[in-house]
Structure 1
Amino acid sequence: MRRNQSMVNNFLLLGFSNLLDLEGLFFTVFLTIYLLTLTGNSLIIIVTLTDQTLHNPMYFFLRNLSFLEICYTSITVPKMLGNLLSEDKTISFLGCAFQMSIFLIIGAAECYILAAMAYDRYVAICQPLHYTLIMSSRVCYELVAASWLAGVPVQLAQTSLVFTSYFCDSNEINHFFCDIPAVVNLICGDVSINELVARVEVVLLAVIPFALVLMSYVCIASTILKIPSVEGRCKAFSTCSSHLMVVVVFYGSGMTVYLKPKSSHSLDTDKFLSLFYTVLPPFINPLIYSLRNKEVKEALGKVFLILHP
């Protein structure tokens, strides 16, 4: 990784150091959100594993999504919390590369898991008679495995390209984690190749699964409109809109950061936008996917009765 030598041995994550008076407040808020995120997603995993009635493809994907959300938020938030309390805000060269690569791989996996969940709902609503045949256990495991592996080659190549570049004398990253735009901003010389690879990466690992999600929901909406019951249509549309809201927040903010040309980058803006796809989706995932779900509520009730008879 150090093929092209530079004077940079570590980086300084500036985070929210320009708002020193608010760092204590930020720490409290982000720590609370992080703990609730871990608790909510862990409960989903436990409940969907222990309750036999939830052993179906929809909750299988939800369980994997919750595990991804825990990993996704844990690769960035603990370091951010530590920096908010400490005067030492450095991260090693290899630590920064590791954080970036794992964050990108998990992010790509989440994009495709969301697409797999949309496909599952499409089959369940549009082809209910063939649902069991199409969404077999083997297909579900293959979709999850493909989601996890889809981003590995591209993201490792992207990270290697960034960290084999020559960095300028400055090692200050205007971000709370090692995100691509903020790190690329420190590279000396032409970064057009980095920007091109980043755009290809976004198309392959974000735009394509996002398009699959939209296509699935167009078909779902068409089918739901044919349901004679008004109450049934409203309930189905409400479920779809909640899922699409998270998809839009997750994809939209990420694409805004990664697809902008370098000349229009505002790193301060990118830093706050990134909170929408690093902190909020993992936090609200348990609420919109599960805690409003009658089956999960009943399963949670059973777990609490066992723990507190």
Structure 2
Amino acid sequence: MNAWKNPLIEQRADPQLSLVDGRYWFTASVPGFDAIEIRSAASIAGLAAAPARVIWRRHDSGPMSWHVWAPELHRVDGRWHVYFAASERGDIWKLRMYVLECEGDDPLRDAWTERGQILTPEEGFSLDATPFDHGGRHYLCWAQKSPPSESNLYLAELANPWTLKSAPVCISRPELAWERIGFHVNEGPAVLKRHGRVFIAYSAAATDANYCMGLLWADAGADLLDPKRWRKSPTPVFRTDEAARQFGPGHNSFTTTPDGRTDLLVYHARNYRDIVGDPLNDPNRHARVQAFGWRDDGFPDFGTPVADGPYSI
């Protein structure tokens, strides 16, 4: 049996959890938005008490000196990398995407090197980069603002972990009413490949109780860089559940149980609706993990957020 307690880790938004070589690896935005930390354990429950190592801190000034957001830890071509967004102390909304590379094989002990900014053809507000492999090619999906102020999802092929190889294509815009509450947002992409399809879950709307998850998909054999191949769920696939007291679930990632038999949804949510001031200044988006299943038509069924407390499968 697999068991843990939700929330798994408190005050850790934008959680990214992966299972690599029999160990779980966790990173997320820290409340001060000023550093990147990693923790690891043999079980999901063990992550709650695992020591967190800070592998990088923001600069004193210039690029990467403010709003360090949504780190993701990935092993690409046999090397560990962290993808994250950061802005500048003198221009706090100048968000750009950056990459760190581990100099050795142990992310918790070995040194990390800054590989610099992921440059996009249209320089601008960008964040939430996530890499994935498919059909022998390396891809990057991320969120980037375009005029007037909407945040869209883009996809490109990678030449190396920090350099785009192809021109980016827009695969989703916040065109539906539930994606445009408070802000016009598609962000936080997370990739899941099953049943002959490539799925991309994403988050939409303002970062309060309206925050929710949407779903894109393309056939596994399709040209992923053709925007026409991507389709979108007309309704959210995971959203606030007042009965369970889970508000604004989103910015998810995916992993599995150690045996690979059960798929797990990792996400953040608050346990109250009302927020005083800017939601970004409220630190209580906690990391949670729960199982999900699959419908007969091969699509994921994420269900609804579970209430806080012991959880087992």
**TM-score range with shorter-chain normalisation?**
under 0.3
Q: TM-score, normalised by structure 2?
A: 0.25
Q: Quick check: which one's helix share is greater?
A: 1
Q: TM-score, normalised by structure 1?
A: 0.25
Larger RCO (CA under 8 A, 6+ residues apart):
1
